[in-house]
Amino acid sequence: MFTVAVCDDEYDQRRRIIEILSTVAASPLQISEYASGEELLDAIRCGHGANIYFLDVFMGVADGVEVAREIRELDRNCVIVFATNSRDHAVDGYGVHALQYLLKPLDEKNVAGALALALEHLSSQKDRFISLVNKQGVYRISYDDILYVESTARVAAIHTRQEEAFCFYIRLDELEQRLDDKRFYRCHKSFIVNLDHVYAVSKGVMMMAGGSNIPVSVKISEARSCFASHLANRI
């Protein structure tokens, strides 16, 4: 099931978008609503992100474009759709790779079209997986779902966005080789992090979406440089 976040400081506008999405969606959507950009970003940092974001541009302290920039730093694969009264910020939308820019008042046809494009875009993304075996069976885990890996006594625990941890008897060096993707970074002899889910590097830790702080044993300047480079490549 795809997840959708609707963020607008006007209650009636939020309800209008949610009503249309619920009506036109061929398959059920998990829809959440937020009255401010700050509220939405707090939810994302706690691990409650979405596949699709409908954002108003003009909202209180944090406007929609700024919120979209922060969302894009945390998740390069999501879809962002702006809904607003003016096209004045349309150029800014390109900077965050917004899929579409809808003008209010919103009508069912335009919202349905944006949803269809968003779902098509998400379905076309080529995800990568790792397959591992333990006593419980064979697991196929999406790279996107992995937050970080922690190794203790040759047992690797893969922590996921679903707040689950899957344990496998495998050396971290071997697992690092199998996770052959630039998003994974060995920040500590016992930890590998998914840089897609890191939102800050501070005081010797990598701060993860979901609330975990992962220790850094490499030079902090190296960790910051790696994180900054990763962010730059996602823009």
Segment 102-156, tens digit of pLDDT: 888 888 888 998 998 888 878 766 567 888 888 887 788 888 889 999 999 889 9
pLDDT for the residue 129:
80
Instruction: Kindly give the pairing relationship between strand 146-152 and strand 155-160.
Output: antiparallel
Segment 34-70, tens digit of pLDDT: 999 999 999 888 878 899 999 998 876 667 888 998 8
Q: Write down the CATH superfamily of domain 129-234.
A: LytTr DNA-binding domain (2.40.50.1020)
Which is more confidently placed, 184 or 230? 184
User: How crowded is residue 123: how many other Cβ atoms within 10 Å of its Cβ?
Assistant: 8
**Chain centroid, CA 9 distance in Å:** 22
CA distance 65 to 44: 16
Q: Report the Cα–Cα distance between both ends of the chain, in Å, rounded.
A: 27
The amino acid that residue 56 corresponds to is D
Close Cβ partners of 129 (under 8 Å, ≥ 6 residues apart): 140, 141, 142, 143
Could you state, in order of their start, the residue ranges of all structural domains in the chain? 3-124, 129-234
Q: Write down the CATH superfamily of domain 3-124.
A: Response regulator (3.40.50.2300)
How is residue 14 written in tokens? 């939020």
Considering the chain, what is the average pLDDT of its residues? 86
Q: What is the pTM of this model?
A: 0.55
Torsion 229-145-14-39 (CA) sign: negative
pLDDT for the residue 90:
47
* Kind and range of the H or E run holding 55: strand 52-56
